[in-house]
Structure 1
């Protein structure tokens, strides 16, 4: 990440043209190649920017002339041209790979909690594996019910018809495995769209609404399903 505070003008040259007159601005240059120009009064939105893939060429200015930075998009050829009169601050720092945003209650955490308390789905149930691999992707939870039957569980924050279709594909594949078949399906989510519930029940898939706070144990020690 490189942060440059400079007095500059900016011209965007491409399918559209735009001009920012000379003024102090923040130039943000990221490791992915993107360049964005910011003012101090526009919240998070940049005044202008160039998304990757792009390249930055810096040409120093001569006596009494501004330096010219040219950002060129690798596919469209559009350009962002900065004329730098004065650089006030130029700082670079390696941030490294970002682990990404983690939200409380996302599907991965729901999966972890439900796997730890698999009897939430039924007394005597046992976990086979989380992220059970198949040729078309992993099943969130594979488990056995009290009678020893195999159950594939797809977990969502909010289940839609797409989730039903996804679980249906898993079930079709898993039921070809004679060691697992017959395999039943459960669609578990914090909320389930009415259309998704109708389709799931039509296909013999059980719908379970998860109480996230109860699974975490923050409301009570009793695990509930609604």
Structure 2
């Protein structure tokens, strides 16, 4: 991974345009081929980024300023002008073992893999931990019409989980084998989903499913229900 702290200006051009005026920021060039632009506050998320794979060409602008031109595989570009470089270093992070999920979340995934139809009628499992360039999707399923459905599972459904599933769907919908029967749909499954996360998911066409953990484990007693 390459870490660069610099006063820079960033301009994105693609499906839309975005501009970050000159300021001190952290630039991350990761070994997976992604480029991320971070600030020191506001959020843990990058201000702008280019998903892998992308090409980084370093040069000089017409005004003599150091310039990076980052090009994505769809032809969109991230132009970074570096007015002053404060730090530039390379780090070999080695092979990451991956996120170790807590017991409840892992068990939820196992149970839903065994009973995918509890999320949506006619849903069947294709595989668990379906790989993408940015990490595995918890469950890849198929609906009654044969269309692909990606399922992200959390204990508590929050906005960052919706964002994660959105990024997965963006990549999955580029795979012709998965989109043969139509676009890949998403289901955001959790024991509880925050209202803001539900609104964001529905706005992006992602279905929400609240999971009853005890019922899935066979520990729910129907006689104790009021309805």
After TM superposition, the score normalised by the length of structure 1 is 0.51
Confirm whether residue 174 of structure 1 aligns to residue 175 of structure 2: no
Is contact 1:122–1:146 with CA below 8 Å preserved after alignment? no
Cα distance between partner residues in 2 of 1:101 and 1:208: 20
Is the Cα contact below 8 Å between 1:152 and 1:186 reproduced in 2?
A: yes
Q: What does residue 163 of structure 2 align with?
A: 165
Shift of 1:126: 1.1
Match of 1:156 in 2: 154
The one of 136, 147, 167 aligned to 1:138: 136
- What is aligned with 2:79? none
Q: Distance in 2 between matches of 1:130 and 1:141?
A: 5
Q: Secondary structure at the match of 1:119?
A: helix
1:203 & 1:220 partners in 2: Cα distance? 36
Aligned residues: 120
1:85-96 superposed matches below 5 A: none
Q: Shift in Å at residue 123 of structure 1? A: 3.0
1:219, distance to aligned residue in structure 2 (A): 1.1
Residue 214 of structure 1 pairs with residue 215 of structure 2:
yes
**How many Å separate the matches in 1 of 2:217 and 2:199?**
29
The aligned counterpart of 2:196 is 195
- In the TM superposition, what whole-angstrom CA distance separates every residue of 1:95-148 from its partner, at most 9, and x where no partner exists? xxxxx9964xx2110000000011112332210000001110000000001111
5+ residue gaps, structure 2: 1-99, 223-227
Q: Gaps (5+ residues) in structure 1?
A: 1-99, 222-226
CA distance in 2 between counterparts of 1:203 and 1:193 reads: 16
Q: TM-score, normalised by structure 2?
A: 0.51
Larger Cα-atom Rg: 1
* Secondary structure of 1:196 counterpart: helix
Rounded Cα–Cα distance in structure 1 between residues aligned with 2:164 and 2:209: 16
How far the C-alpha of 1:220 sits from its partner, in A, is: 4.6
Match of 1:123? 121
1:141-165 alpha-carbon deviations (Å, 9 max, x no partner):
0000111110000000001100000
1:173 counterpart SS class: helix
Structure 1 residues 216, 149: CA separation in 2 closer, same or farther (over 3 Å shift)?
Answer: same
> Is the partner of 2:176 in helix, strand or coil?
coil
RMSD of aligned alpha carbons: 1.7
Match of 2:109 among 108, 111, 119: 111
